[in-house]
Amino acid sequence: MGWKEQTLELFEIFGPASLAVVSFTEAIIQPVPPDLLYMPMLVNAIGDTPLVVWLWLVVTVSSVLGSLVGYYIGKKWGTSLMVRFGQERHLLKLEQLTLRYGSWGIFIAAFSPIPYKVLGWMAGMGHMKHKPFILAGFFGRGLRFGLEAILIGLYGSQALNLLNWLLDNEIMLAIALILGFAVLVYAWQWWNNLDSNGTASTE
């Protein structure tokens, strides 16, 4: 039995509320994604639309609420910890990252394999405004969990097997997504810096 399965067993003491607890805590600090509990529940709920909608609401809302806790942790203690460990130079970069890519960064993390909790901490450290943070998280998480519900509703266990494979390889997928995004940003900057002679501007 893997560590993910062992961790999920620990949450069984919460009974039906275990999905909310897993989703809430995952958005703060613990590493087990709520999808591992959410998707089998969806399989059992096939044909019961109200139950599927309820599961979607529970996993989405609890995840966003958990991210707010992560946000406040980053806001209250993140800066002091970085200063304590001599990482002040990174604070300005975090603030600029939040200002420049704030809502999109949170949305991408909420929808993709990139750890949602990390962007929550960073948003707090960068003092991102609450409203765009919550909206980006809700739409990103809602879209992610909603697509899982639709796929499982349409394809059943076949979709479950595919989604489980994606979760098992989420670290590699996250790295690939970040690298791909970096390449796109670089390519876009290179394109915009081309002058009329077809060479990149050095200004």
- What residues does 194 pair with on adjacent strands? 200
* Per-residue pLDDT band at 203 (split at 50, 70, 90): very low
Give pLDDT tens digits for 26-54.
898 888 888 888 888 888 888 888 998 99
What predicted TM-score, i.e. pTM, was given to this entire model? 0.68
> What single letter denotes the amino acid at residue 29?
I
What's the rounded Cα separation, in Å, for the pair 30 and 52?
Answer: 25
Degrees to nearest 5, angle at CA 143 with 142 and 145: 65
- Which residue type is seen at 114? I
